[in-house]
């Protein structure tokens, strides 16, 4: 499938008209299940220029994958319909689709069949395709990607059919890969007794396999999680009456959903324990006080990824070793209707589940003997079964995966398996991190492959946000090759851009002791510069950078009176003759100028707009640079915010400033905070609205209650820093401020 794209752009220059031919950028998405379909749908909905999308899926139907490919009617979603929208900014999208497509009886609390959700994903992708721009095309390729090669400016995807795709970006939407067969089962792996529950047509095969079973025959399910639940439900629908055994290391089974009342916020990323034991202890304390443990677990959900990321590596391993099994059965729950089927099977004695390990398998006449060592007692349990179904769940250990595409990526050092044995390492934007630790500009992923970095990343609420953010990230990179004739000479689009608009120089600098970011902003034409929130101890560094870049420092600009470091403004002013600027209403002397809310500071082609954001202090300012870069100071951090318990701070004012001013900016506005204590450098307004645990889902009163109960220690340098910063960083003698 191919199209020619041509856009005619008029641009006056010496009375000439430019006719630009634009070649479309091509993206490839490897995997057409839920993750891949959602990335494609977001691209189709948001793209504003020519684009070709290659959606590669080995099955003929896209949008279903393993989870939604089942045709078993009683395989239900594990989340109610009201929380299953494909788009985070349209919470009723799925419900509306259901009501428009013959499911008017469904409410927000209904657990819908998974095959219906598969229909929804397919319909969502088709709608996005039908409503896309005419110069945007989606090509669905029924094939399998087996290798990827990258060069400086392009990527080649090799398909099993022999076809090669030359693209600019690739998204690996691999979803859940086939489970690894436990070692003891390999002895009978080729006997026909063992089935893999993660095969795309597994449930159909399993039901056909029941035809030659007798009522007294038995089945063993290895694994007692959600995959086991699917197997039991499928067997129940087929009318199977035989014995069902299920075994896993802990023998735990998924818990049931029940309506809950939202629970009070009791955990914060910044103050949460940084050990698995400490987190477990904190949660257990809340469980003892709560009426329903489900509400407590749900209260952790918005910040689970952040809690995981701040845990040290050894504590993550400890969590996986001791807590993982208990977390998963309480966090990933099942519908009441499904729980009723399991309970009935257990009460009748049809379903027996064990905590233990499979020690050996031995093929007998027309059946298999399985020996299980029971957990705790170490007693042997011997079973004779007609079928063994591997329900151990998806395999996300990329070191052990036997997959040609994964092998190709590893051979070329394009991926780095996560050290926890879960998925691969990725940057915050989903870019793959290669074996040398570099983030790829061409290869991205989402969902299960990010499990080691994010932990909670396999459910729809997480994947839909990743898909939306990833589409936005990809679209930012669109730079089609364009050519224009000017007096017989051909210029690229980049040349035209240079003629139209000078670029802004933007640097983010860091002070390790106070975790403070200083921002250097300059106009590339005039070479005039401004430093925002300079640090006294870093003045020599800043002067060196100004010298190396040939810049003239015109201003030092403060977001507020800092309590954790002394500003470098006064020292820089002595060296460069720059002006010191602070927000209006600031109790400061020695300043050259005050800046007011809404005032624009012009620096050549660079515009810096002041936005009053009181709350951390009573005179705090954020600065919007060229309407794309937002310097938030201490008003808004990446997944956090500044404290409000000193310097006339006010939690209510901060909530209003962030939600009514900053959060009304476009979602793709870049957020550059004044501090970060986790090594994060940049976010977006859209991300913070969705994922910042201080604001997301909180009312004003809840935010105030949270901020008033942080009980943080005072900054170490406060007594020294505040008086000095009230004099633009001029360090006073001790006598001056102790009288």
CA distance linking residue 362 with residue 193, whole number of Å: 11
Residue 648, classified by CB atoms within 10 Å of its CB into exposed (0-12), middle (13-18) or buried (19+), is middle
- Residues listed for the chain: 739
- Is residue 662 within 8 Å of residue 695, measured between CB atoms? no
Catalytic residue (one of 616, 620, 629, 727)? 616
Catalytic residue (one of 230, 523, 542, 634)? 634
Q: Which residue has tokens 């080649």?
A: 156
Query: Residue 636: which of 664, 607, 615, 666 has the closest Cα?
Result: 615
281 included as an active-site residue: no
CA distance linking residue 650 with residue 11, whole number of Å: 50
- The dihedrals phi and psi of 368, each to the nearest 5 degrees, come to -125, 135
With b meaning 16 or more CB within 10 Å and e meaning fewer, what string describes 498-537?
Answer: eeeeeebebeebbbeebbbbbbbbbbbeeebbbbbbbbbb
- The dihedrals phi and psi of 475, each to the nearest 5 degrees, come to -70, -30
Element (H, E) at 574: helix 569-576
CA distance linking residue 411 with residue 313, whole number of Å: 26
CA distance linking residue 275 with residue 26, whole number of Å: 45
Terminal CA-to-CA distance of the chain, rounded, Å? 81
Catalytic residue (one of 236, 560, 620, 629)? 560
The SS3 of residue 615 is: coil
332 included as an active-site residue: no
Catalytic residue (one of 564, 570, 650, 676)? 564
Q: How many CA atoms lie within 13 A of 468 on its CB side?
A: 17
Element (H, E) at 557: strand 552-557
Question: CA dist 189 to 109, 182, 192, 222, 303, Å?
Answer: 42, 10, 7, 13, 41
- Is residue 672 within 8 Å of residue 632, measured between CB atoms? yes
Query: Residue 24: which of 54, 44, 51 has the closest Cα?
Result: 51
562 included as an active-site residue: yes
Dihedral of the CA atoms 373, 376, 377, 380 (nearest 10)? -10
Catalytic residue (one of 75, 236, 620, 675)? 675
Provide the 10 A C-beta neighbour count for residue 334.
24
CA distance linking residue 739 with residue 733, whole number of Å: 11
93 included as an active-site residue: no
Sign of the C-alpha dihedral, residues 587, 588, 594, 598? Answer: negative
With b meaning 16 or more CB within 10 Å and e meaning fewer, what string describes 164-184?
Answer: ebebbbbbbbbbbbbbbbbeb
Catalytic residue (one of 257, 562, 629, 727)? 562
634 included as an active-site residue: yes
Token pair in block for residue 148? 């990827």
564 included as an active-site residue: yes
Residues catalogued as catalytic: 560, 562, 564-565, 616, 634, 675
């Amino acid at each position: 499938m191919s199209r020619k794209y041509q856009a005619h752009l008029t641009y006056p220059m010496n009375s000439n008209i430019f006719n630009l031919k634009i070649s479309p950028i091509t993206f490839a998405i490897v995997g057409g299940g839920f993750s891949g379909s959602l990335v494609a749908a977001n691209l189709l909905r948001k793209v504003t220029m020519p684009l070709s999308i290659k959606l590669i899926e080995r099955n003929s139907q896209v949008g279903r994958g393993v989870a939604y490919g089942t045709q078993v009617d009683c395989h239900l979603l594990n989340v109610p319909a009201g929380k299953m929208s494909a788009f985070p900014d349209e919470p009723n999208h799925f419900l509306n689709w259901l009501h428009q497509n013959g499911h008017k009886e469904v409410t927000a609390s209904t657990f819908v069949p998974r095959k219906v959700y598969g229909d929804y994903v397919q319909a969502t992708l088709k709608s996005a395709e039908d409503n896309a721009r005419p110069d945007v095309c989606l090509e669905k390729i029924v094939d399998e990607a087996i290798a990827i090669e990258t060069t400086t400016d392009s990527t080649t995807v090799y398909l099993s059919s022999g076809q090669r795709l030359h693209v600019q970006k690739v998204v690996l939407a691999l979803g859940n890969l086939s489970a690894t067969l436990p070692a003891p089962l390999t002895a009978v792996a080729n006997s026909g007794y063992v089935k893999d529950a993660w095969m795309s047509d597994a449930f159909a095969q399993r039901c056909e396999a029941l035809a030659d079973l007798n009522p007294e025959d038995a089945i063993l399910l290895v694994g007692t999680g959600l995959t086991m639940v699917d197997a039991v439900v499928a067997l129940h629908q087929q009318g199977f009456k035989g014995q069902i055994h299920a075994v896993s290391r802990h023998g735990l089974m998924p818990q049931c959903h029940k309506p809950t009342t939202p629970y009070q916020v009791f955990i914060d990323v910044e103050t949460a324990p940084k050990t698995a034991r400490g987190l477990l202890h904190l949660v257990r304390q809340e469980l003892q006080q709560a009426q329903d443990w489900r509400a407590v677990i749900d209260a952790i959900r918005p910040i689970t990824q952040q809690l995981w990321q701040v845990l040290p590596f050894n504590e993550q391993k400890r969590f996986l070793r001791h807590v993982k099994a208990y977390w998963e059965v309480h966090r990933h729950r099942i519908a009441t209707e499904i729980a009723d089927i399991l309970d009935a099977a257990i009460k009748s004695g049809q379903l027996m589940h064990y905590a233990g390990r499979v020690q050996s398998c031995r093929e007998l006449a027309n059946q298999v003997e399985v020996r299980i060592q029971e957990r705790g007692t170490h007693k042997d349990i011997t079973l004779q079964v007609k079928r063994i179904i591997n329900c151990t769940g998806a395999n996300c250990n990329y070191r052990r995966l036997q997959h040609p595409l994964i092998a190709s990526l590893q051979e070329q050092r394009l991926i780095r398996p996560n050290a926890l044995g879960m998925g691969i390492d990725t940057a915050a934007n989903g870019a793959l991190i290669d074996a040398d630790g570099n983030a790829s500009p061409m290869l991205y992923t989402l969902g299960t492959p990010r499990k080691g970095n994010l932990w909670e990343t396999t459910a729809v609420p997480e994947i839909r946000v990743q898909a939306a953010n990833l589409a936005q990230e990809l679209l930012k990179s669109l730079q089609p090759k364009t050519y224009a004739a000017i007096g017989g000479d051909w210029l690229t689009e980049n040349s035209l851009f240079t003629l139209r608009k000078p670029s802004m120089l933007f640097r983010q600098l860091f002070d390790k002791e106070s975790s403070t970011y200083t921002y250097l902003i300059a106009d590339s034409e005039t070479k005039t510069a401004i430093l925002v929130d300079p640090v006294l101890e870093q003045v020599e560094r800043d002067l060196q950078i100004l010298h190396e870049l040939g810049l003239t420092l015109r201003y030092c600009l403060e977001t507020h009176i800092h309590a954790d470091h002394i500003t470098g403004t006064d020292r820089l002013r002595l060296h460069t003759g720059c002006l010191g600027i602070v927000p209006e209403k600031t109790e400061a002397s020695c300043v050259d100028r005050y800046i007011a809310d809404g005032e624009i500071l012009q620096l050549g082609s660079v515009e810096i707009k002041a936005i009053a954001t009181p709350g951390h202090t009573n005179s705090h300012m954020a600065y919007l640079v060229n309407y794309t870069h937002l310097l938030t100071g201490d008003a808004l951090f990446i997944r956090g915010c500044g404290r409000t318990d000193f310097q006339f701070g006010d939690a209510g004012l901060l909530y209003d400033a962030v939600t009514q001013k900053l959060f009304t900016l476009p979602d793709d506005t870049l957020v550059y905070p004044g501090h970060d204590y986790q090594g994060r450098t940049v976010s977006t307004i859209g991300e913070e609205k969705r994922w910042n645990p201080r604001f997301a889902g909180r009312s004003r009163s809840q935010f105030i209650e949270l901020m008033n109960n942080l009980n943080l220690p005072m900054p170490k340098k406060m007594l020294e820093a505040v008086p000095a910063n009230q004099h633009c960083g001029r360090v006073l003698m001790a006598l001056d401020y102790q009288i």
